[in-house]
């Protein structure tokens, strides 16, 4: 199964007009979620071959427009995978960069008890 998440992060800008009010705008971000070595074997063989191509295509597209790519990792305190382990890492075939913001989640929802909504992008 391939899941691609696009999310609009709030970005605040000052626009000076008659009322000198602050205007909120949205900035798209790509969330690359749970594409970790531990979970790749749970995908069908066909998805394991095609998913990196789609994910990397979206990463390339977002980078072309200087839009953020956010790495979202899943771990369970009891079941793992342990942060820093090979199982926790994204496969080398995924074109993430160390400078991409990172979020670690312990729940199915990437916003539950994480800093995703406040990630500075």
Residue 5 lies in a domain: no
| Least confident segment among 41-45, 57-61, 106-110, 111-115 | 111-115
Residue 52 lies in a domain: yes
pLDDT tens string 57-98: 999 999 999 999 999 999 998 999 999 999 999 999 999 999
| Distances 51 to 55, 56, 94 between C-alpha atoms, Å | 6, 8, 9
Neighbours of 100 (CB within 10 A): 18
Residue 76 lies in a domain: yes
Residue 8 lies in a domain: no
The enclosing domain of 86 has a CATH number of 3.40.50.850
Residue 43 lies in a domain: yes
- Is the model's pLDDT at 110 over the cut of 90? no
Domain containing 54 equals: 28-118
pLDDT the model gives residue 109: 82
Reference 118, options 23, 29, 4, 53; nearest CA is: 29
Query: How far is it, in rounded angstroms, from Cα 21 to Cα 19?
Result: 5
What pTM was estimated for this model as a whole? Answer: 0.76
pLDDT the model gives residue 12: 44
Element (H, E) at 55: helix 45-64
pLDDT the model gives residue 112: 83
Element (H, E) at 71: strand 69-74
Residue 93 lies in a domain: yes
Reference 75, options 114, 29, 121; nearest CA is: 114
Residue 18 lies in a domain: no
Query: How far is it, in rounded angstroms, from Cα 80 to Cα 70?
Result: 21
Residue 12 lies in a domain: no
Of the two residues 26 and 8, the one the predictor is more confident about is 26
Of the two residues 106 and 8, the one the predictor is more confident about is 106
Query: How many domains in the chain?
Result: 1
pLDDT the model gives residue 115: 80
pLDDT tens string 21-68: 455 667 789 999 999 999 999 999 999 999 999 999 999 999 999 999
């Amino acid at each position: 199964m391939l899941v691609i998440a696009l999310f609009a992060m709030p970005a605040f800008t000052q626009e000076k007009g008659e009322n000198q009010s602050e205007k909120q705008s949205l900035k798209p971000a790509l969330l690359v979620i749970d594409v970790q070595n531990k979970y790749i074997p749970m995908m069908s063989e066909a998805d394991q071959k095609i998913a990196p191509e789609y994910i990397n295509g979206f990463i390339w597209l977002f980078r072309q427009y200087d839009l953020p790519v956010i790495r979202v990792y899943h771990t369970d305190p009891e079941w793992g995978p342990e942060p820093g382990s090979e199982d926790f890492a994204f496969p080398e075939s995924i074109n993430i960069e160390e400078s991409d913001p990172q979020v670690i989640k312990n729940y199915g929802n990437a916003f539950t008890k994480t800093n995703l909504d406040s990630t500075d992008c």
